[in-house]
Amino acid sequence: MKNIKKLIALTATICILVSALSTAAFAFGGTAVGNEKMDIAIVTDKTSVHAGDVVKVSINISNNYNAANMRWPVLFDNSVFELGTEAETDFTAASVLTPGTSGINTDIDTQTAIGAGVTSSSFKVEDYNAVLIQWVAGSSAENGTQTMNCFNSSASVTCFTFNLKVKADLEGPTAIDGRIFIPSEATTFYYMAMNSKTDATTIYTMDKETCLMTFDDAVVTVKFLNPEIVLLNESVVLDYDNNAIYGLAEGLSSIEDYVTVTDGYVEYTRFATDNTVAPFEGVVGTGTYVTFMGNDGTNLGEFFVVIFGDYNGDGLVDLEDDTYFASIANYEIMDYFESQYLFLACDVNGDGSVDTMDATDVSSVANYDAYVDQTLAENRVVSYS
Confidence of residue 17 (pLDDT cuts 50, 70, 90): low
CB environment 31-47: b (16+ within 10 A), e (fewer):
eeeeebebebbbbbeee
The domains of the chain are located at 10-222, 229-383
322 CB contacts (<8 Å, ≥6 apart)?
A: 362, 363, 365, 366, 367
How far apart, in whole angstroms, are the C-alpha atoms of residue 282 and residue 288?
10
Which pLDDT score, from 0 to 100, does residue 228 have? 84
71 neighbors 131 (Cβ within 8 angstroms) = no
3-state SS class at 180:
strand
- Helix residue spans in 235-338 (DSSP H): 319-329
Report how far apart the first and last C-alpha atoms of the chain are (Å, whole number): 40
Cα–Cα distances (Å) from 223 to 259, 263, 293, in that order, read: 18, 21, 18
- Asked whether 157 and 60 are in contact (CB, 8 A), the reply is yes
Q: Check residue 144 and give its pLDDT.
A: 79
For 190, 230, 300, the CA distances from 297, given in Å and listed in that order, are 57, 18, 9
pTM over 0.75: no
**94 class by beta-carbon count within 10 Å (0-12 exposed, 13-18 middle, 19+ buried):** buried
Closest Cα to residue 110, out of 41, 188, 45, 175? 188
pLDDT at residue 175 greater than cutoff 90: no
Q: What is the DSSP letter of 326?
A: H
pLDDT at residue 52 in the model: 84
- pLDDT tens digits, residue range 130-144? 999 999 999 988 777
Give 279 or 30, the one with higher predicted confidence.
30
pLDDT at 12 over 70: no
Round to whole Å and give the CA distance between 112 and 163. 21
Q: What percent of the chain has pLDDT over 90?
A: 66
Q: Which of 132-141, 159-168, 263-272 has the lowest mean pLDDT?
A: 263-272
Report whether pLDDT(211) > 70: yes
Bridge-partner residues for 44, per DSSP? 57
Q: Residue 14 pLDDT more than 50? A: no
Band of pLDDT at residue 280, cut at 50, 70 and 90: low
E strand or H helix that includes residue 73: strand 69-77
Q: Which of 224, 184, 180 is nearest to 207 (CA)?
A: 184
Tell me what pLDDT residue 76 has. Answer: 97
Compute the distance between CA of residue 351 and CA of residue 353 in angstroms, rounded to an integer.
6
Range of weakest confidence among 187-201, 212-226, 272-286, 328-342? 272-286
**Please, what CATH class does the domain formed by 10-222 belong to?**
mainly beta
- Number of Cβ within 10 Å of residue 2's Cβ equals 8
Angle between helices 319-329 and 356-366 in degrees, nearest 10: 160
- Write down the pLDDT at residue 89: 60
The percent of residues in the chain predicted with pLDDT above 70, rounded, is 88
CA dihedral sign, ordered 222, 43, 107, 115:
negative
pLDDT, residue 256, reads: 92
SS3 169: coil
Averaged pLDDT score across all residues of the chain: 87
Question: Which residues, in sequence order, are bridge partners of residue 74?
Answer: 131
pLDDT of the residue at 242: 85
Contacts of 218 (CB under 8 A, 6+ apart): 42, 43, 44, 57, 179, 180, 181
